[in-house]
Chains A and B, each alone.
Chain A
């Protein structure tokens, strides 16, 4: 059973067409939620950390928000260079480990066409 679910699996947008990606989670004891961008053949690139419900973070055309059970990555007026796979990961407490446990979603593949 997936602990972190991302939707949609794939999204095609025209340049300038704003939209949102969703990351919902069922893990308890949330410590933090992370968003990453991954280009083909590359490692994931860290974008944001969100710690508690109501928090928001922004970077250029991206804005991440967090509620108690889900996070959204809003993309405003996207450009073709925003095309990538966006991954969500949730860090939760685990067995007293200071590292916690990190659960990854399977990602949303975003394509922005001109």
Chain B
């Protein structure tokens, strides 16, 4: 069966510091990978998605970037965090090759920028 790992679970970082959140998927090959941010009362916002190694699509301009160095690894980064980057970050995957496939989420990272 497939599993998704996301870490760390919580993170407190000062403004201006760098960020690296990591996500890995096990039990499947060539998944589509996603980064979402969830803000209270505002729902889920898609940040980035990837259909393959080195292929990143950005949904909204922001202070963040994403990379996919390996087939089942997805990284969310920032060079300098802003207060507005605080939130709950979720990594997710879907099967590739199928048009309709539900997202499967990790357990998220609660990021607080101070």
Which B residues between 84 and 114 are near A, CB-CB below 8 angstroms? 90, 92, 94, 99-100, 102-108, 110
A31 contacts B44, C-beta separation under 8 Å = no
Are B105's CB and A44's CB within 8 A? yes
Given contacts A99-B49, A105-B43, A106-B42, is CB(A45)–CB(B103) below 8 Å? Answer: no
A102 partner residues in chain B, CB cutoff 8 A: 46, 103
Tally A residues with Cβ within 8 Å of B.
Answer: 23
Q: How far is the CB of B102 from chain A (nearest CB, A)?
A: 5
Q: Are B90 and A34 in contact (CB under 8 A)?
A: no
Contacts of B49 in A (CB 8 A): 99
| A91 contacts B by Cβ under 8 Å | yes
A59 at the interface (CB under 8 A from B): no
Shortest CB–CB separation between residue B22 and chain A, in angstroms? Answer: 15
| Distance in Å: Cβ of B46 to nearest Cβ of chain A | 7
Whether a CB of chain B sits under 8 angstroms from the CB of A76 is: no
Assess whether B32 is interfacial by the CB under 8 Å rule: yes
Interface pairs (8), CB distance under 8 Å: A34-B102, A42-B107, A43-B106, A44-B44, A45-B105, A102-B46, A104-B44, A106-B41
Known: A42-B107, A44-B103, A49-B100. 12 other contacts (CB 8 A): A31-B99, A31-B100, A41-B107, A41-B108, A43-B90, A43-B105, A46-B104, A51-B100, A99-B32, A102-B46, A104-B44, A106-B41
